[in-house]
């Protein structure tokens, strides 16, 4: 069954989308980072670009480089922040086409009785789909729920994090905007915030907007999910 899943990812990996190499974006990104008070650096090995900043005195880092997930093609934009919030909180937001693709592949994996050993390279996102229930509420527009799915350990944790401004940021990408099926994930896990997305369109407005989404997500998590929140 795991061979089948790996083959499914391989089929989806072609053709590769056009993207701008990180080395071609470095100058513009460095200039923009300076205007925002962000740190900027490059890693020669792999050509990874890095941004660093602080939100509510918590450090965050964003990287642009080679993908670390098989469902992401071209370049990957990923971010991470140590927020110091309740480590029991788990909220996972992803675009619906990605959720449906992972569920389909997970179903094939679990129903194929010919394979009995687990492939450690399969994404842990599949395990999260089994662990957490999808939640929703009426105060966010139907457009949001059509595009994104939210899974959580508790619905109250998702409500405390995903405010209307964050929802609008997730819907109002600058043109040309990422398509609805462009892989995108935003997570709170183990007291940290994470962002992971396929960098498409591969331009500065997309990166800048992703940074705005991530920093706002960090702010609302810090403000609404304290370490002493009931779980």
Query: pLDDT per residue over 125-173, tens digit each?
Result: 888 888 899 999 999 999 999 999 999 999 999 999 999 999 999 999 9
3-state DSSP call for residue 157? helix
Domain ranges of the chain: 2-224
Please, what is the angle between helix 2-12 and helix 96-111, to 10°? Answer: 150
Q: What is the mean pLDDT of the chain?
A: 84
Quote the CA–CA distance of 84 and 191 in Å, as a whole number.
Answer: 5
Q: How far is CA 41 from CA 53, 161, 181, 205, in A?
A: 12, 30, 30, 19
Tokens linked to 152: 């959580």
How large is the greatest C-alpha to C-alpha distance in the chain, in angstroms?
Answer: 56
Whether the predicted pLDDT of 23 surpasses 60: no
Quote the CA–CA distance of 109 and 164 in Å, as a whole number.
Answer: 37
Q: What is the DSSP letter of 18?
A: P
């Amino acid at each position: 069954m795991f061979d089948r899943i790996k083959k499914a990812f391989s089929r989806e990996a072609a053709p590769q989308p056009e993207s701008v190499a990180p080395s071609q974006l470095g100058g513009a990104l460095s200039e923009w980072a300076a205007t925002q008070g962000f740190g900027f650096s490059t890693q020669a090995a792999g050509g990874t670009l890095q941004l660093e900043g602080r939100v509510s005195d918590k450090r965050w880092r964003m990287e642009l480089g080679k993908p670390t997930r098989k469902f992401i093609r071209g370049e990957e934009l990923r971010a991470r922040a140590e927020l110091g919030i309740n480590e029991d909180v788990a909220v996972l937001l992803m675009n619906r086409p990605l959720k449906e693709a992972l569920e389909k592949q997970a179903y094939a994996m679990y129903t194929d009785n010919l394979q009995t050993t687990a492939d450690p390279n399969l994404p842990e996102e599949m395990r999260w789909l089994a662990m957490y229930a999808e939640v929703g509420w009426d105060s966010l527009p139907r457009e949001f729920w059509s595009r994104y799915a939210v899974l959580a350990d508790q619905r109250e944790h998702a409500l405390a994090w995903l405010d209307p401004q964050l929802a609008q940021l997730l819907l109002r990408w600058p043109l040309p905007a990422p398509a609805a099926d462009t892989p995108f994930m935003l997570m709170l896990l183990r007291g940290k915030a994470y962002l992971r997305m396929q960098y498409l369109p591969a331009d500065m407005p997309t990166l800048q907007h992703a940074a705005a989404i991530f920093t706002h997500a960090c702010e609302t998590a810090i403000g609404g999910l304290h370490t002493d929140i009931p779980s």
